[in-house]
A = this chain, B = another copy of it.
Amino acid sequence: MASAEDDLIARYFRPVATHAGALGLIDDAAILAASGEDVVITTDAVIEGVHFLPDDPPETVARKALRVNLSDLAAKGAKPAGFVLTLALRGVSEAWLAPFTAALAEDAKAFGCPLLGGDTVSTPGPLMISVTIFGKLPAGTMVRRSTARPGDIVAVTGTIGDAALGLACLKGHAPLDNVEARDELIARYQVPQPRNALAEAVRTHASAAMDVSDGLAGDLAKLCAASNVSATVETSDLPFSDTARQILSLGAIGPETLIAGGDDYEILCTVPQGRWASFMDSAERAGVAVTAIGRITNGPSAPVFLDAAGAPMHLKRLSYSHF
């Protein structure tokens, strides 16, 4: 069905724009009031064929586009405040837009992050959803990448590698007989579970943080480089799911796929030793699993991943790269 752009906005996007500053999406701009707080801004785009598959349901595409950005806010210790959306579409199909915006509205409500504005454009190319998200926190308290210190504990939330295995399943590279386990992995790839519940604990206790989006190994290397430190990670301490361990034990897929796979959207953070107990208490109260996986060491060499025998692993690649 062909529809005018304004009609499209009124029908599908206005219900997601519950923030007063969105002005019902009838203006050219939105207003975000900030009385002395810092506004944290981050942007991430997802593209058909790169970040999601052409067959992925519109619901999961919507959730992923928003959640990869929510994950950044969580790692920075910020509380979600709203987002703007650029949607490049080949055309307008109600069958796609209706479930897409319904899922977007659900997530916007669940995470307290309403739509503030956007732009819908036509493209002959692949679908693209670009989100710029805004968070708030007390002035000067954003958790950075560049402030990890030697001796800090390196920690990660949830499990690592499941999303990469989910993608491998979707591409037929990880044959898995157990349908339920397979579906769980695919769900991890399609719908990230950003750890916004942990944001306040990260802001209060972590010395540095970022979210794991391109692969744990590469993202830790980035955090270390920004902080001018190094790290040692005990691979046997990494939080792999039972299914991931099972697949690893079969030998068809190595730990590298999990460590460098990307799409985890977990929080990677460093916590000073003296803060660790309080941090773990807060994490437990927030209901988010956190695992200590290593230590920050003196820089500036690349982080070292030790295998079960204590020998450094040689990773052929550290993370997903677009170019």
With A86-B86, A139-B33 known as contacts, the answer to whether A41 contacts B134 (CB < 8 A) is yes
A128 on the interface (CB 8 Å rule)?
yes
Contact for A210 among B28, B84, B130, CB less than 8 A:
B28
CB closest residue in chain B, given A44: B119
Question: How far is it, in angstroms, between the C-alpha of A78 and the C-alpha of B126 when the chains are bound?
Answer: 34
Q: Which 10 A-B pairs have the closest CB atoms?
A: A125-B125, A34-B34, A132-B132, A29-B42, A86-B130, A32-B39, A122-B322, A43-B84, A130-B130, A45-B86
Stretch at the interface among A4-12, A155-163, A284-292, A304-312: A4-12
Question: How far is it, in angstroms, between the C-alpha of A142 and the C-alpha of B233 when the chains are bound?
Answer: 51
In the complex, the answer to whether B76 meets A28 with C-beta atoms within 8 Å is yes
In the complex, the answer to whether B42 meets A30 with C-beta atoms within 8 Å is yes
In the complex, the answer to whether A146 meets B26 with C-beta atoms within 8 Å is yes
Q: Which of A232-274 contact B (CB under 8 A)?
A: none
In the complex, the answer to whether B29 meets A40 with C-beta atoms within 8 Å is yes
Contact for A226 among B26, B38, B126, B322, CB less than 8 A:
B26
Contact for A124 among B5, B116, B125, CB less than 8 A:
B125
A88 on the interface (CB 8 Å rule)?
yes
Q: List 18 A-B contacts (CB under 8 A).
A: A5-B323, A26-B145, A27-B76, A28-B72, A28-B75, A28-B145, A29-B142, A34-B36, A34-B37, A34-B38, A35-B35, A43-B85, A43-B119, A43-B132, A45-B119, A50-B123, A121-B322, A122-B323
How large, as a class, is the contact surface on chain A? Answer: 35 or more
CB closest residue in chain B, given A2: B323
Contact for A116 among B41, B78, B123, CB less than 8 A:
B41
Contact for A321 among B5, B26, B145, B323, CB less than 8 A:
B5
